[in-house]
């Protein structure tokens, strides 16, 4: 009985540490994204596919793969059991989408572009149990 209690206590402690580190990492990433999004706000996005432009365009792309922490995994499994929205995974997908767009804007910035036309996003679940999400972003960077 004492061994079982010890195992439960160790699990709870490790779970709490993992949750704390996961929250810290996620908050840090969200703050970095907010700063980058603010800095790159001058690069506008347009999801229109075809527009005539007097300026030359060039394909730009980016991708990001983000993994969830163990706490999100456990929470998602519980939510999945009962059904409904998997809110813990939604935050992972949102972070990945924002990161992919920031990276896309960074690529456009390197070539002096101020506008990205035809923005497209593609999301893929990776891993055996959906532990990671990849977001691929692409569009046409317009140099003005």
At 66-106, the pLDDT tens digits run 887 667 777 777 777 777 777 777 888 899 999 999 999 99
* pLDDT tens-digit readout, 39-71: 999 999 988 776 666 677 899 999 999 887 667
Residue 30 near residue 95, CB atoms below 8 Å: yes
CATH code for the domain of 17: 3.30.110.70
Q: What is the mean pLDDT of residues 2-25?
A: 85
Residue 21 near residue 69, CB atoms below 8 Å: yes
Q: How many domains does the chain have?
A: 1
Instruction: Write b or e for each residue in 6-18: b if 16 or more Cβ atoms lie within 10 A of its Cβ, otherwise e.
Output: eeeeeeeeeeeeb
Domain that holds residue 122: 2-143
- Report the predicted TM-score, pTM, of the whole model to 2 decimal places: 0.80
- Give CA–CA dist 38/20, Å, rounded: 27
| Cα-to-chain-centroid distance, residue 69 | 13
Handedness of CA 94, 42, 117, 36 (dihedral sign): negative
């Amino acid at each position: 009985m004492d061994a079982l209690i010890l195992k439960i206590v160790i699990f709870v402690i490790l779970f709490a540490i993992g949750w704390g580190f996961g929250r810290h990492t996620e908050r840090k990433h969200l703050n970095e994204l907010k700063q980058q999004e603010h800095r790159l706000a001058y690069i506008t996005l347009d999801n229109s596919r075809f527009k005539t432009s007097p300026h030359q365009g060039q394909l730009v792309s980016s991708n990001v793969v983000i993994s969830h922490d163990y706490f999100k995994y456990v929470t998602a499994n519980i939510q999945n059991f009962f059904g409904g929205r998997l809110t813990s995974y939604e935050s992972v997908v949102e972070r990945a989408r924002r990161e992919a767009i920031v990276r896309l804007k960074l690529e456009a910035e390197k070539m002096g572009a101020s506008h990205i036309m035809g923005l497209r996003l593609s999301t893929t679940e990776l891993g055996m149990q959906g532990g990671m999400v990849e977001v691929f972003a692409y569009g046409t960077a317009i140099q003005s």
